[in-house]
Structure formats: C-alpha cells, structure tokens
C-alpha cells in the first residue's frame, strides 16, 4: 500500500525487455532483486536510496539475475497463442484446443473429452481470460475432491477452498481455515499436488512453520522435503500464456 515503483533502462544489464522495475518500500531494510515467472525483474529498495545505488546494485547482481531469467526461458512453442493444448499433470489430463472463431465474446466449450473449442473474438486477452475461467471452473471440482479426501483421511477440518492466480505463492491457509490454492498447481505432478494440499491442511492446526508443524507434515507426507523442492521448481512447467 505504501510502495512506489518506476521502470529504469539499464543498457549494461541484458534483461528482457532491457528494463527492470524499481519499487520503493517502507518495509525494505536493504536492496533486493526478484525475477518473476513472466520475466519481469523487480528491485526493491528502501526509501532514500539513490538511483546510482540501484544501478550499481543491478550490475553487481547481474550474473544472478541472468541465471534466474535463464531458468524461466521456455520452449518457443510456449509463446504461441492460443496454445495447441496443455497438460493438467495434477489430474493426468491433456486437452487439445481448437479455435473455431465466430462472433461474440471469447468462450470455451468442451464438445468431447480432451478437446476444448475456443470460440468468439480472436482478441488475445479475451481468449486468455476465457481459458483461465474454464481452468478455474474445471479445476475447482478436482481440487475440492482431492482436498476433501485428504482432510477426511487424516482428520483435518477446514472451512472452504478458493483458487487464485499468483506468481509467487503456491498456497495459503487463513486463521479461519480457508485454504487458498494457486491455479498453477494443476500443472504439477499428482504427488506434488498432494503435498501442497497436506502442507496447507496442517496449517489448520499450526499457523506457522514450527517444529511441531513440520513434524506433523512428516507424519502425513514422509517424503515432503523432496516434493517441496519439486514444488519450488514447479514454475518452469507453468505455460507462459497463463501470466501474459
């Protein structure tokens, strides 16, 4: 709420698109850099920081930023939109996408198993929104079923579940036991989805990451460390068009 940002061109720093965003924050104690899935580079700085200091910081961390950007480079086919299809790995599903055009607003219709028909305007943002709406609606049924099953199996109690689209967080659990899941989890493997659901369900007991919390996680998901690492790398399999 108190943050301000602007963009600055840095010719010496080979970024995409050769700019980075500077965000002044009252909470920041030092300069830090973040590289998002969509390739945006953000440098968070405390108020009072001079532009020369920001520039020097970006040059000093150039190698790290370029390495993070490289991890986010996807296959050129990922830039084609609308995509020819996508895999919902969490549900062991693959959906082909057929574009039939037509009049009216963009909409997605499932005419046969595994096939989606994208109809209406060819405007990219409208098509993307239509696909996202379909994904949320389709995924809600599956995620509710998985979450409910695990809660009953291990004796957890939660109030409700909601789906969000976020660039940095996979999930969360509020003090009211409302579990939020990132839509991007549907592109991960089933065992990774299971770990995330259990991770959030344990938060209905412990609203922190204390030793008691992790002990309970290890009881319901013994290989959680391996799955947690896979989840951290999970952004690489999220289709590029989801965020752009």
Query: How much of the chain, in percent, has pLDDT values that exceed 70?
Result: 87
Question: pLDDT value at position 126?
Answer: 92
| Dihedral class, residue 42 (left if φ above 0, else alpha if ψ from -120 to 50, else beta) | beta
Same domain, 133 and 118: yes
Task: Mark whether 18 and 106 lie in a shared domain.
Answer: no
Predicted confidence at residue 73, as pLDDT, reads 57
Q: Is 77 a residue whose pLDDT tops 70?
A: no
- Residue 221 has what pLDDT? 97
Q: Give the model confidence (pLDDT) of 120-151 as tens digits.
A: 988 889 999 999 999 999 999 999 999 999 99
Residues 82, 24 share a domain: no
pLDDT of residue 138: 96
**Are 186 and 122 members of one domain?**
yes
| Per-residue pLDDT, 65 | 82
Q: What is the pLDDT of residue 137?
A: 96
Spatial distance between the Cα atoms of 14 and 126, rounded to a whole number of angstroms: 32
Do 67 and 83 belong together in one domain? no
For the residues 20-35, what does the mean pLDDT come to?
83
Q: What is the pLDDT of residue 82?
A: 81
Among residues 35, 55, 71, the one where a domain terminates is 71
**Owning domain of residue 41:** 4-71
Higher-confidence residue of 181 and 57: namely 181
Residue-wise burial string across 187-210, b where 16 or more C-beta atoms lie within 10 A, e elsewhere: bbbeebbbbbbbbbbbbbebeeee
Same domain? For 107 and 227 the reply is yes
Same domain, 45 and 130: no
pLDDT higher than 50, residue 205: yes
The whole-number pLDDT of residue 80 equals 66
Task: Give the pLDDT mean for 61-71.
Answer: 79
66/109 same-domain check: no
Domain count across the chain: 2
What is the distance between the terminal CA atoms of the chain, rounded to a whole angstrom?
A: 24
| Average pLDDT score, the chain | 86
């Amino acid at each position: 709420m108190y943050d301000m940002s602007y963009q600055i061109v840095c010719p010496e720093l080979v970024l995409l698109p050769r700019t980075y965003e500077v965000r002044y924050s009252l909470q920041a104690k030092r300069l830090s850099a973040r590289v998002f899935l969509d390739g945006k580079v953000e440098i968070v700085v405390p108020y009072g920081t001079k532009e020369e200091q920001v520039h020097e910081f970006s040059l000093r961390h150039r190698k790290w930023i370029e390495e993070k950007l490289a991890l986010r480079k996807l296959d050129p086919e990922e830039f084609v939109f609308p995509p020819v299809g996508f895999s919902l790995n969490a549900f062991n599903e693959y959906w082909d996408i057929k574009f039939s055009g037509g009049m009216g607003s963009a909409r997605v219709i499932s005419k046969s198993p595994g096939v989606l028909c994208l109809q209406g305007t060819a405007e990219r943002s409208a098509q993307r929104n239509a696909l996202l709406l379909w994904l949320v609606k389709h995924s809600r049924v599956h995620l509710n079923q998985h979450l409910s099953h695990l809660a009953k199996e291990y004796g957890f109690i939660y109030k409700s579940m909601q789906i969000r689209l976020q660039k940095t967080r996979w999930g969360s659990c509020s003090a009211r036991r409302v579990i939020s899941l990132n839509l991007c989890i549907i592109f991960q493997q089933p065992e990774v989805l299971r770990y995330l659901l259990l991770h959030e369900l344990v938060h209905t007991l412990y609203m922190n990451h204390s030793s008691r919390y992790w002990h309970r996680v290890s009881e319901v998901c013994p290989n959680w460390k391996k799955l947690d690492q896979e989840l951290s790398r999970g952004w690489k399999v999220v289709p590029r068009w989801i965020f752009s």
